[in-house]
Structure 1
């Protein structure tokens, strides 16, 4: 083992050969992959690879791993039989007796695969294709298909959303829900990080083992700005890195046969508003989509506040698209299983695929990447009188900007340079938003460790 100059943490060099997709490439494809990974996106590849190699990290500061391993580097080299990945000064925690842990290696291959595919297939020459709603959905489909996560099997995939910074009791509850889902043969997809993203997977592993279920799926869907702050948890066995948060959210709802929301912070609120904004559209009124908000008894006030905020901003109709279940993991699993049966029947009737929800209408305003600059945040239209779907889209952007200011390197840099984002809107809406955000801070849902310094200011 080597020792870096700036750190006493052990590191190791390694040379690994990817399998499963990356090993079946033409010479031209390998050359394009090498160029993509050593050019302008090399720093992105390095940051995402380092996040995977430090899988299980308890930090949610995207700069922490970089500071601990300042001399880490990764290179993709062309070989006649495929590609070779060279690691320099890699974290020793990713190795056992000098060999890289198999699960870590698989996630590392996924990083190279997805970033290279994005650089090659979604490059500047395809910008025009990404100006239409259908073009963006096709891009999401292409990324998921290239990652081999789209499988023509009976609906059984439950997406679980929730915070990375949750209490011990809330975490144990997510495990219990995952256990009940696993006993019913359901697979789990999350944002791949810790907390409410890890708990359901951990619970499901025990249940799947009890049921002797083979080919268990624990899918993690992330994006480059998030993965460094939320390293994949060790249970993830299928990792997908989408190019941006909007495509990540679309991937969740296109793949999901149902969604469970656990307690969380601004990222969870963003996900809720994204999905409700879509489900409230007239085109999706008849699309079955089981959506459950759940947590232990101590989380009841949290969901009461979320429910009040939704009623105030999106109206009473929005509450018909979700059900709140408190303190009953079995009821959550039974309700979700029944909802997925309805999804299966509807897909058959509509001749829609089981593995990708083509029938769900997602408008362009929910698909275009939002850049959370100070100007963009201040210009969000958060007032009454707007169509619920349109208001949900702007509310989602407000929460997305706060996520960026909290844990994304670019957003944190903007806050350091220009101060907090300002969010303007109707007085009652801003009061409710401020109350919700203050509760997140008081309940320590914004950061895992350390004192939270707000990256926003609510202005009525």
Structure 2
């Protein structure tokens, strides 16, 4: 172990992968070592460092690299498999010189998914990523390669969305909900980070232990642009890295059997608009998909504002697809369990899989990656003279751009070069959007710590 002046303690070591990552091809190892433009070495280094700084209290994607400037990772080909060499790795990931097992498993997941996404998904002709079915097939194969789907298990996976920057009372409430879900045998899937992504998992661990549930699932789904800002929390026991935010969102709605939304910021608003936009498509009108917004009593005003914004932008039809339950964790779990029972009945009737929601129609507007550029943000169609699901798609993109400007390196660089994004559209929608964003800033839902300088400007004159 070495310690540098003014820098945290670090460790140099070599580890052997376990749990599904025993071998890689020579091409995969070479690509992971490629430091040239388009190579995978820097992406691997950034994502690996995020895992090794699990439970970080920073949402600055550049903070870990500044704290551990000498960190490096190398995947080495061996006669009997592979070895992973870590240089100047955070000592907090080790106990008595041994890497913590959960962190090691998530580190192996990083290597597995980066190699698979680059070579089998993006770098081959297996999937037509210009079509909806092709993108859905890619999502399915990534999840299957990660071994997170269980064909023999009844629907039981609850996706929990919410902010990484939430108050103490809100965090404690997410634990209560997770506890009630766990008592009912339900598993948890989140974005894998802190705050509302950690709380439900933490609560469920106690309930699963009480119920003697032997194989609980705490699935964390992330993507390269956000993992450094939202390092995996230590409870995640199945980590999956999707290639981009759109495939991450699709993985949530294909894998999960119901969704609970806790208080959050722009990322949570993006997720809400994504799901409601999908559910508002006429092809999904009869599809059961339980969706609950919930928080403690202190969050009642937050959900009133979200509800008002959705009514104004998407209309009353959108409100029929979700239910707001305030300060009643047990009721949330009961309603979710009943909703999942209806999902099971529907899947049996339609002969659809329990482990992947093939019946859900996903318009390509929700699947195509959105580049967070100023031109793309300026070109959004934020007006009502279009079907509600299309308006939801562009509102989702607006929030996605703000997320990129807040916590993703590419978006932050774009803001540094060209100033804030300009968001324009129908004046009534812009006033409502501006009010919602200002509330997020006032409630400190944009950043975990420090002051927040908006990366956007809403044209509401």
TM-score, normalised to structure 1's length?
A: 0.98
What is the SS of the residue equivalent to 2:189?
Answer: strand
Counterpart-to-counterpart distance in 1, 2:126 and 2:381: 27
Counterpart-to-counterpart distance in 1, 2:434 and 2:287: 33
- Displacement of 1:235 in angstroms is 0.4
Give ranges in structure 1 of 5+ residues lacking alignment: none
- Counterpart position of 2:403: 403
- Counterpart position of 2:144: 145
- Counterpart position of 1:70: 69
- Counterpart position of 2:252: 252
What is the SS of the residue equivalent to 2:69?
Answer: coil
- Displacement of 1:32 in angstroms is 1.8
Within 5 Å, give how 1:307-322 maps onto structure 2.
307-322=307-322
Counterpart-to-counterpart distance in 2, 1:330 and 1:122: 41
- Counterpart position of 2:176: 176
- Counterpart position of 2:90: 91
Counterpart-to-counterpart distance in 2, 1:269 and 1:134: 26
Is residue 2:30 matched to residue 1:35?
A: yes
What is the SS of the residue equivalent to 1:55?
Answer: coil
8 Å Cα contact 2:120/2:126 also seen in 1: no
What is the SS of the residue equivalent to 1:2?
Answer: coil
- Displacement of 1:416 in angstroms is 0.9
- Counterpart position of 1:201: 201
CA offsets per residue over residues 6-52 of structure 1, 9 Å max, x none? x42100011011112211x3xxx421221121111110100000000
Counterpart-to-counterpart distance in 2, 1:203 and 1:312: 35
- Counterpart position of 1:48: 47
Is residue 2:118 matched to residue 1:119?
A: yes
Give ranges in structure 2 of 5+ residues lacking alignment: none
Counterpart-to-counterpart distance in 2, 1:190 and 1:279: 20
What is the SS of the residue equivalent to 1:126?
Answer: coil
Counterpart-to-counterpart distance in 1, 2:285 and 2:357: 15
Counterpart-to-counterpart distance in 2, 1:333 and 1:327: 12
- Displacement of 1:180 in angstroms is 0.3
Within 5 Å, give how 1:202-351 maps onto structure 2.
202-351=202-351
What is the SS of the residue equivalent to 2:159?
Answer: strand
Counterpart-to-counterpart distance in 2, 1:3 and 1:328: 48
CA offsets per residue over residues 188-229 of structure 1, 9 Å max, x none? 000000000000000000001111111011000000011000
- Counterpart position of 1:61: 60
CA offsets per residue over residues 49-78 of structure 1, 9 Å max, x none? 000000011000001000000000000011
Q: What do you get for the CA RMSD once the two structures are aligned? A: 1.0
- Counterpart position of 1:444: 444
CA offsets per residue over residues 399-439 of structure 1, 9 Å max, x none? 00000000001101111111000000000000000000000
For residues 67 and 157 of structure 1, do their structure 2 counterparts lie closer, same or farther at Cα, with a shift above 3 Å needed?
same
Q: Between Structure 1 and Structure 2, how many residues are aligned?
A: 455
CA offsets per residue over residues 155-207 of structure 1, 9 Å max, x none? 00000000000000000000000000000000000000000000000000000
Is residue 2:77 matched to residue 1:82?
A: no
Counterpart-to-counterpart distance in 1, 2:122 and 2:194: 31
What is the SS of the residue equivalent to 1:50?
Answer: helix
Runs of at least 4 residues off by over 2 Å: 123-128
8 Å Cα contact 1:260/1:292 also seen in 2: yes
- Displacement of 1:4 in angstroms is 4.2
- Counterpart position of 1:459: 459
- Displacement of 1:81 in angstroms is 1.6
Is residue 2:368 matched to residue 1:373?
A: no
Counterpart-to-counterpart distance in 1, 2:248 and 2:102: 22
Counterpart-to-counterpart distance in 1, 2:361 and 2:384: 24
- Counterpart position of 1:10: 9
8 Å Cα contact 1:263/1:302 also seen in 2: yes
What is the SS of the residue equivalent to 1:3?
Answer: coil
8 Å Cα contact 1:14/1:86 also seen in 2: yes
8 Å Cα contact 2:75/2:85 also seen in 1: yes
CA offsets per residue over residues 432-451 of structure 1, 9 Å max, x none? 00000000000000000000
Counterpart-to-counterpart distance in 2, 1:119 and 1:31: 14
- Displacement of 1:123 in angstroms is 2.8
CA offsets per residue over residues 355-405 of structure 1, 9 Å max, x none? 000000001111010001001001101011110010000000000000000
CA offsets per residue over residues 284-305 of structure 1, 9 Å max, x none? 0111000000000110100000
CA offsets per residue over residues 104-124 of structure 1, 9 Å max, x none? 000000000000001110234
For residues 383 and 348 of structure 1, do their structure 2 counterparts lie closer, same or farther at Cα, with a shift above 3 Å needed?
same
